[in-house]
Amino acid sequence: MLSKKEIQEQRVRGYFIEATKELLKSEGLKSVSVRNIADKAGYSFATLYNYFKDAKDLVFLCVKDFREECSAYTASKSHSAVAGSRRLKAIISAYMEYFIQYPGVFDLFFNEKLSEIDRQGNTGGLVTSLLEELCEAEWQHCINKKLFSAREVAQKRAALLYGTTGLLTLYLNRCYPGSYEAFTKQAGHFIDQQLKQSS
């Protein structure tokens, strides 16, 4: 039975992935080493190479999981808001909150240069498309209700992607603004500003 082997193999792979996810969320990318991951998974560092080509290979496998986690968090935080601009703001705010909670995941998503390693090149797309995907339905709703034109939506969507990425980069990497309160205030202003009519 090959399936038996495959089941066990997938199980072990899962142990390593889980260990990597824990490390990324707690210690951050800097503490993700082959030996640290293997220790947490209960194996020798050499075993990791039997299941993965690389530690980075392993790290990028976490992106999909974190994406789903962020998606779920965002949904839970926005489902009660009224559709349209209100819910858009709730979604974008929750999206940012998620990365504030897990700065290591933000690092992995936006700071770490994966272009040199990720040969399929799909990981980069997974990351940049996350916010767009989360907001897609709401933007459609806005167009349908004639709140914004398709052209406006395209502009606002891009501006919000760039702005949220910049806000998070500056706050998480440069402590700018200086406090979390100031950050949420700035983020709120920015989102409101971009969602306003007649941009």
Partner DNA sequence: TCAGATTTTGAACAGTGTTCAATATATTTG
Partner DNA sequence: CAAATATATTGAACACTGTTCAAAATCTGA
By CB under 7 A, name the binding residues for DNA. Answer: 1, 4-5, 9, 12, 32-36, 43-47, 49-51, 54-55
By C-beta, is 9 or 136 nearer to DNA?
A: 9
C-alpha to C-alpha distance for 39 and 118, rounded to whole angstroms: 25
Question: Site for a copy of itself (CB under 8 A): how many residues?
Answer: 33
C-alpha to C-alpha distance for 166 and 91, rounded to whole angstroms: 17
- Position 113 contacts a copy of itself (CB under 8 A): yes
User: How far apart are CB 105 and DNA at their closest, in Å?
Assistant: 18
20 near 58, Cβ under 8 Å? yes
Q: Where are the alpha helices (DSSP H) in the chain?
A: 2-26, 34-41, 45-51, 55-78, 85-101, 103-106, 122-144, 150-174, 180-195
By C-beta, is 37 or 91 nearer to DNA?
A: 37
By C-beta, is 50 or 76 nearer to DNA?
A: 50
Give the one entry of DNA, a copy of itself, none that residue 10 binds, where binding means its C-beta sits below a cut-off of 5 to 8 angstroms depending on kind.
none
